[in-house]
Amino acid sequence: MTSALIIKEEVIIPSEFSFFDQFQDLVPSRPVEHLGKLDLTFEGRLPDPGLVILEDGGEIGCGGKVWVAGELLSKYVLDKGLYNKKKVIEIGSGTGLVGLTLGLSENRDKDMEIFITDIE
């Protein structure tokens, strides 16, 4: 007997499918082969030369790649700015994308301290 997850009482998804499979149409997942150097300027929002992130495709864990959520939060911070904050800490930062983006951003107070943390 196969167990199943019932969604909205009309769609049945066998339990062997991942919970996240149902969201593939909203945010496409990055291919596993997405490795190496990623150059980011966020469409010119960061001053040249931008930011360079080295991805390992998640080989050493989920922190070894740039996630879509990190890209979106980075764009938000670049567009809206972050003022009147003395200290900012990014917890579980993985590649450090958001904290590094904020550090390079001109839309923040220049005396702001930025701390980027992850497992070690």
Helix 97-104 to helix 68-80 angle (10° resolution) is 20
Q: Which range has the worst mean pLDDT, 8-17, 38-47, 63-72?
A: 8-17
Question: Considering the chain, what is the average pLDDT of its residues?
Answer: 76
Domains in the chain (CATH in brackets) are 31-116 (3.40.50.150)
Question: CA nearest 3: which of 18, 17, 14?
Answer: 14
pLDDT, tens digit (0-9, with 9 covering 90-100), for 52-103:
888 877 666 677 778 888 999 999 999 998 889 899 999 988 888 999 999 9
Of 18 and 73, the structure prediction assigns the larger pLDDT to: 73
Residue 107, both tokens: 């839309």
Dist. CA 97–CA 114, nearest whole Å: 12
Which residues, in sequence order, are CB contacts of 38 under 8 Å at separation 6+? 52, 53, 54, 55, 66
